[in-house]
A and B are shown apart, each in its own frame.
Chain A
Amino acid sequence: MVKPLISSWLRTIKDYLKGIFLYGILSGVYEEKRCLDNLFMLGVFGSTIGFPYLFNYYYLRLMPYYVRRFDGWKKQILKDKDFFDQVGD
């Protein structure tokens, strides 16, 4: 009874501390990763959002592995960017 309660409290404190100290910098790491992913996706699958594609061979070979990402990627890259979205760029 006491042990699960203590572990739940410890988990909550750990999450609070993660939010206060780490969350901002982790978001930065994810943002950096997304920029690289965007470059890759644009280079290989750019045709799906209107860019001319350059490498037929890689496009077809990689398509099955990346097809699940297309929906989210298109939403993110084609979304209108408001003033507030541009501050972090």
Chain B
Amino acid sequence: MNSLWVLVWWVVIVVIGYRVYAKWAARRVFDVDPNRATPAKMYMDGVDFMPANKNVLYGFQLNSIAGAAPIIGPIVALQWGWVPALLWLGLGVFFIGWLHDFSSAMVSIRNDGDTFGALGYKLISPRARKILLTFIYFYLLLIATAFGHVITKGVSANHALPFPLLVVIGVAFLVGHMIYRARVNIIVTTIIAIVAIFLSIWLGTLWQIKISYTTALICVLIFGYFSSILPVWRFIQPYNYSSVYVVYFGIIAGIIGIIIGHKPMTLPAFTSWTIGMGPLWPILFVTIACGAISGWHSLVSSTATSRQLENELDVRPVTAGAMFAEFTISIIAVIVVATAFADKAAYIKGVKNPVGLFVGGLGGAITSIGLPESYAKATAGIMILILALTIINLVFRFMKVASAELLGDAISIAKNPHIATVVALVITFILVKTGTWLYVWVLFGGANQLMASFALLLITLFLVQKAKNYKIAIYPMFFMYATTVCALFYTAFFKCLPAGFAGKKVFGNFFAAAVAILLIICALILAYDGWKAFKKYKAGVPEGPPEAEKAAA
């Protein structure tokens, strides 16, 4: 089948999902009101709460949600064939993905821009906040492990990538200094950064650097340490700013390449109901997280975007619009890989190094627009490494704050940012070195989707509390809860533990299983508290924080 037919599927999902279903839900379920004051207007402080144009916010939201996961997940899931991957991507984003992002922002907006920690406390129970934090810490650990391996494997396997990656990191420090300290004009700074990065990609193809897996991993973790410790303006922001140009160049060149090349899909449409990673349900549904539905988006929507939307009418184009754009990125990833390999054997050989698969696929598509093959492949490789490093940038920072919040009162040393970061780095190092990456990826996807289930639980409770049509959220929530808990259970008890008992990567597999079991326990406690809160709101108990209710009782 020609790959252009996949674009027809994409158009159908986007047009009906965005123009019909999302529009209906925004009007009929959430009663979007352009005259209601948003938190951005009510609490305007010029930074966190600041009304912004919807088009600007759309770009910001897309940038914040689209990391490496919408590319890597679908690439790994092609093991079941491209039809199941495309079906889940399309149906997932249509029925759940956009709704999750949109509603997370709406619930936060209607609650004065509160984040999920505060919302969990208010809508579910006081202990929900602590459980959410515990969950988030281990969720972040899985993210760090999954993407730590992706970067390390990519850098150690492709010798053209270490040099440009070092330049990208160096340029980030330079850009931060030029903008914030030397006060150099931003246009001049941007031109210098772009020229340096694209030149380094070319030089990287000439000056190849060989680096071992362990050395690369240590370098990645040192990078993680600095991004956690340094002020945001010193490294993270300039890094995101200067590197995003490469990412969008890669995406645009890839789209043009797909259209020019319009190659047939060479990988099989469907392989089997069960593969090495597990059965199609539930494992495929967590292998592809971003692109269909991702819990990370609820954090972005409720923490940053909800405080900057100037009008409730803007919520749909910004959040749902960005979600459909991320779905588009996943579709591109499926096409470039499904058309790049002559047969399944060539694809399966490289599945443990998704960077390599993506480089082969996107590099080939970019070559169609006339760039030399070595340069096109290096650009594709750097693009995905940049996306993965963007996540590593934030993960250890989040972990540092989460451990201080969780343990700070009991163990004062946990409040020390250096200690908290080093502990997170050491655990990540051990899990990357001793774990089985494909299982860790499934656990990461499961944790990510479980985060989405929590968001859908909060959305359901909000809708019940306000006597709205909560069915729009409760059925997706049931589906996601069941799928993710089953996926975590399956991977822990049928993959990690048997592998550990068989003597394969013993420590890593047992550790991954323990993390999965902990996440399941957190999910069950939250589900129990959520069920009690649901019954309470159904019975019409007046809204208010749990403490106020206790005092009233």
Chain A residues close to B by CB (< 8 Å): 12, 15-25, 27-32, 34, 72-73, 75-76, 80, 82-88
Judge whether A15 and B180 touch: CB under 8 Å.
no
Q: A34-B46, A87-B397 are in contact. Are A20 and B117 (CB under 8 A)?
A: no
Judge if B167 is at the interface, Cβ distance under 8 Å: no
CB nearest neighbor in A for B406: A83
B55→A12 contact, CB < 8 A: yes
Contact (Cβ within 8 A) A28 B237: yes
Residues on the A chain within 8 Å of B114, using CB: 82
Tell me the interface secondary structure of chain B in the complex. helix
The CA of A26 and the CA of B55, in the complex, are separated in Å by 15
The reply to whether B115 and A72 form a contact with Cβ atoms under 8 Å apart is no
- A20 and B43: CB pair below 8 A? no
- Determine chain A's interface SS by DSSP, over half rule: helix
Cα A31 to Cα B49 with chains together (Å): 11
Within 8 Å by CB of B248, from A20, A29, A72, lies: A20
Q: Give the CA-CA distance A49 to B264 in the complex, in Å.
A: 67
Q: Is the CB of A24 within 8 A of B240?
A: yes
CB contact between B237 and one of A24, A80, A87 (< 8 Å): that residue: A24
B255 at the interface (CB under 8 A from A): no
Range class of the B interface residue count: 35 or more
Task: Determine the distance from Cα of A88 to Cα of B400 in the docked complex, in whole angstroms.
Answer: 12
CB <8 Å contact, B62 and A20: yes
Q: Decide: A28 near B46, CB < 8 A? Known: A15-B55, A19-B56, A23-B56.
A: no
Are B56 and A82 interface neighbours, CB within 8 A? Answer: no
In the complex the two chains form, what is the Cα distance from A17 to B56 in whole Å?
Answer: 7
User: Does B56 lie within 8 Å of A15, measured CB to CB?
Assistant: yes
Contact A16 B117 (CB under 8 A): no
Please give me the residue from chain A that is nearest to B52 by CB atom: A23
Beta-carbon contact of B57 and A83 below 8 Å:
no
Interface string of B47-65 (1 = CB under 8 A from A): 1111011011111111100
Contact indicator B232/A72 (Cβ below 8 Å):
no
**How far in angstroms is the closest Cβ of chain B from A16?**
5
Q: Is the CB of B233 within 8 A of A83?
A: no
Is the Cβ of B55 less than 8 Å from the Cβ of A19? yes
The answer to whether B299 and A84 touch across the interface, beta carbons within 8 angstroms, is yes
Please name 11 pairs of A and B residues whose Cβ atoms are closer than 8 Å in the assembled complex, sorted by A: A19-B57, A19-B58, A25-B238, A25-B240, A28-B237, A32-B180, A34-B45, A73-B45, A76-B47, A83-B136, A85-B48
Does B543 reach chain A (CB closer than 8 Å)? Answer: no
A84 x B117 contact (CB < 8 A): yes
Q: Which residues of A contact B57 (CB under 8 A)?
A: 19, 23
Q: Is the CB of B232 within 8 A of A28?
A: yes
A15 to B136: give the CA distance in the assembly, Å: 33
Which among A25, A27, A30 has the highest number of chain B CB atoms within 10 Å?
A: A25
Beyond A28-B233, A76-B45: 15 further Cβ-contacts under 8 Å? A16-B58, A16-B59, A19-B62, A20-B63, A21-B59, A22-B241, A24-B60, A25-B241, A30-B47, A73-B45, A75-B45, A84-B116, A85-B303, A87-B401, A88-B232
B270 at the interface (CB under 8 A from A): no
A87 to chain B, nearest CB (A): 6
Specify which chain B residues have a CB less than 8 angstroms from the CB of A22 in the assembled complex. Answer: 186, 241
Q: Do B55 and A16 touch across chains, with their CB atoms under 8 A apart? A: yes
B179 and A25 form a contact (CB under 8 A): yes
Chain B residues near A12: list those with CB within 8 A: 55
The distance from the CB of A48 to the nearest CB of chain B, in whole angstroms, is 16
CA gap between A84 and B48 in the complex, in Å: 12
Knowing A72-B45, A83-B401, say if A18 contacts B233 (CB, 8 Å). Answer: no
